[in-house]
């Protein structure tokens, strides 16, 4: 075998060996219990459960650099309440943050909407943006009567950066118009759906997506 033929043969062999490894993709979760887990802090405010958790890692360097472009960016978070061993959500809380860098004033203008929150504010740097837009602090989650006593529940969270669907953002704006604590969700609600329909993401629906579940809590 000539040296050139040997090189070609070795190259083809390497491709054949590498192909199966390249073809293997991480398995998509089929139930909310299978989502990656992260810690949240829970606290009861009378009958209203509040949660605090971070989703800063949805913003990679490319997206944080993009914040300074002067073009608007949106971080949209949906947190569904699931009962353990159940794939149907019983409650939903949402939060959105629209970020625009003011090139003249050199500050980030923020529009934050969530349960009981609709405010315009500002941040002087990216750290301030992430602290206000990529963290949930004392987020109203669910009213106790919607939960089953002595049954484990948890949050399954979807975060989208610059979601493509304006319809979804409009539905989120309508959802946060509800009174604080009115987070119960059912088949007739626009943001309701099966776990697979909600959490198995389609390519191109946003610049970046992050999904995870919190540890369980028991009312």
Inside any domain, residue 79: yes
Contact 146, 159 (CB under 8 A): no
Inside any domain, residue 43: yes
Quote the Cα angle for 136-156-208, to 5°.
Answer: 70
Residue with tokens 């929150």: 117
Q: Once rounded to an integer, what is the mean pLDDT over residues 14-22?
A: 41
Inside any domain, residue 195: yes
Inside any domain, residue 166: yes
Which among 110, 117, 126, 204 has a CA at the least distance from the CA of 160? Answer: 204
Inside any domain, residue 4: no
Is the pLDDT at 21 greater than 50, yes or no?
no
Inside any domain, residue 162: yes
Domain of residue 161 covers 28-57+74-94+136-214
Inside any domain, residue 41: yes
Give the pLDDT band (50/70/90) at residue 196.
Answer: confident
Q: pLDDT tens digits, residue range 156-190?
A: 999 999 998 888 899 998 888 887 778 899 888 88
pTM of the complete model: 0.84
Inside any domain, residue 99: no
Which one is predicted more confidently, 12 or 45? 45
Give the whole-number percent of the chain exceeding pLDDT 70.
86
End-to-end Cα spacing for the chain: 73
Is the pLDDT at 20 greater than 60, yes or no?
no
Count the domains in the chain.
1
């Amino acid at each position: 075998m000539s040296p050139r033929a040997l090189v070609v043969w070795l190259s083809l062999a390497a491709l054949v060996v590498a192909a199966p490894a390249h073809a293997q993709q991480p398995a998509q979760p089929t139930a909310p219990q299978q989502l990656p887990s992260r810690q949240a802090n829970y606290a009861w405010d009378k009958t209203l459960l509040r949660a605090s958790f971070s989703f800063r890692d949805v913003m990679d360097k490319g997206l944080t650099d993009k914040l300074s472009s002067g073009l608007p960016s949106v971080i949209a978070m949906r947190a569904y309440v699931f009962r353990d061993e159940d794939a149907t959500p019983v409650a939903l809380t949402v939060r959105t943050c629209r970020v625009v860098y003011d090139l003249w004033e050199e500050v980030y203008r923020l529009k934050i909407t969530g349960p009981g929150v609709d405010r315009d504010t500002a941040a002087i740097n990216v750290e301030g943006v992430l602290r206000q837009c990529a963290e949930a602090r004392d987020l109203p989650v669910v009213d106790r009567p919607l939960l089953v006593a002595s049954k484990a529940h948890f949050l399954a969270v979807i975060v989208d950066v610059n979601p493509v669907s304006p319809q979804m953002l409009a539905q989120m704006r309508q959802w946060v118009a509800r009174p604080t604590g009115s987070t119960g969700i059912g088949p007739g609600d626009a943001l309701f759906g099966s776990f697979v329909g909600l959490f198995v993401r389609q390519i191109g629906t946003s610049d970046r997506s992050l999904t995870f579940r919190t540890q369980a809590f028991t009312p």
